[in-house]
Amino acid sequence: MPTKWFNIATFNTYNLALPDITFYETKKYSKAQYAAKKAWIKHQIEQMRPDVIGFQEVFHKAALKEILGETPGLAQAELYMPPETGTAPCVALASRFPLENLSIIEEFPASAHLSINDQPAQVSKFQRPIVRATVKINNGIFQVIVFVVHLKSKRPIIAPAADPDDPLQIALGSAKSLLMRAAEATALRHILVETMRGNTTPVIVLGDINDSVTAVTSEIVSGTPPYKRLSAAKKAAVWDVLLYNVKDLQSRISLQDTYYTHIFNGYCESLDHIFVSNELVRANPEYRGYVEYVKVFNDHLIDETLSNEEVPVTQSDHGQVVATIRLGQTGEV
């Protein structure tokens, strides 16, 4: 029987690494911590029930492979991620459907190199390489192009000799982080436009964008809806390469106010997103599937400004997002 729907998800694991191996210079999990982290991630995945899932902050593929091997429904999943560096985390993609056209994108397209006042920006590659793959559903009758991404965080970039608590250094460092994230968002947008333009294969972007849905960097990734007074032809060209956040698609049909995936300094915000192309939006008369439902798993997050508790290192400091995609148009499949 062909499947009528599938779940697609994004999961920032918060530094998934094997035990007794140092990461980030000094951090290391004991065997007990590793076992607890594996158990927690496995439990979350079991609740999410994803068919396709993008991961962020994976240091060791073997650790993720162990978890998936013990998770019902994903024990035989294909797992793809860039080569481990030993010093930096990677993104990864797991799917119980076959994957093809696998690629890792590290360098920015030449067309996306930024310059300010004719001075080139010193950013030309993704800090965490992107994973791209085509997911073949129902023996390839329905295909989706998936990108797994993790853009630069908001954490200030501060020189080793500078005082990390100096407000001026924090401002400068935050600006540097923003510039890097904006450069990565722009490069990703160029890749997405080239992928979507004139293409009817649905595109889905999964990942930790490290910004809210209305932030400039997020809108760079998704594109901006066409101005209402544009001609029909120009509107169609914009819609062809536009992405839609599943949060917005859900909000238009369901009243809710608990959508957040991260808490920092008392602020609840969404940093982890799933974007879908026009082919998966019901407002498009020629849609090929649609976002039926969206869930956020964030009950484990703690506002540390109000509580003496801390998010354990064996859990994640991010919530997880799952979108159910119904195949075909309403009443079909």
Look at the block and give the residue holding tokens 């791209």. Answer: 132
Q: What does pLDDT average to over the chain?
A: 91
Task: Look up the CATH number of the domain holding residue 296.
Answer: 3.60.10.10
Q: What is the pTM of this model?
A: 0.93
Enclosing domain of residue 278: 5-327
Please tell me the predicted confidence (pLDDT) of residue 199: 92
In a domain, 213, yes or no: yes
Q: What is the mean pLDDT of residues 39-66?
A: 97
pLDDT digits (tens, 9 = 90+) for 224-282: 988 888 899 999 999 999 999 998 887 766 656 667 788 877 778 889 999 999 999 99
3-class DSSP state of 278:
helix
In a domain, 333, yes or no: no
Q: What is the mean pLDDT of residues 103-114?
A: 90
In a domain, 277, yes or no: yes
In a domain, 332, yes or no: no
pLDDT-derived band at 331 (thresholds 50, 70, 90) equals very low
In a domain, 122, yes or no: yes
Q: Report the candidate in 181, 185, 194 with the shortest Cα–Cα distance to residue 155.
A: 181
In a domain, 24, yes or no: yes
Beta strands in 26-89 (DSSP E): 52-58, 78-80
8 Å CB contact between 297 and 257: no
Within 10 angstroms of residue 219's Cβ, the number of other Cβ atoms is 17
pLDDT digits (tens, 9 = 90+) for 191-235: 999 999 999 999 999 999 999 988 999 999 999 988 888 899 999
In a domain, 281, yes or no: yes
**Token pair belonging to 209:** 């964008």
Q: In sequence order, which residues have a C-beta less than 8 Å from that of residue 73 and are 6 or more positions away? A: 49, 51, 96
Please tell me the predicted confidence (pLDDT) of residue 7: 98
Q: Report the candidate in 80, 14, 5, 6 with the shortest Cα–Cα distance to residue 320.
A: 14
3-class DSSP state of 170:
helix
pLDDT at 24 over 70: yes
Residues 16, 126: Cα–Cα separation, whole Å = 20
pLDDT at 63 over 90: yes
Q: How far is CA 149 from the centre of its chain?
A: 5
In a domain, 57, yes or no: yes
For the chain, what is the domain count? 1
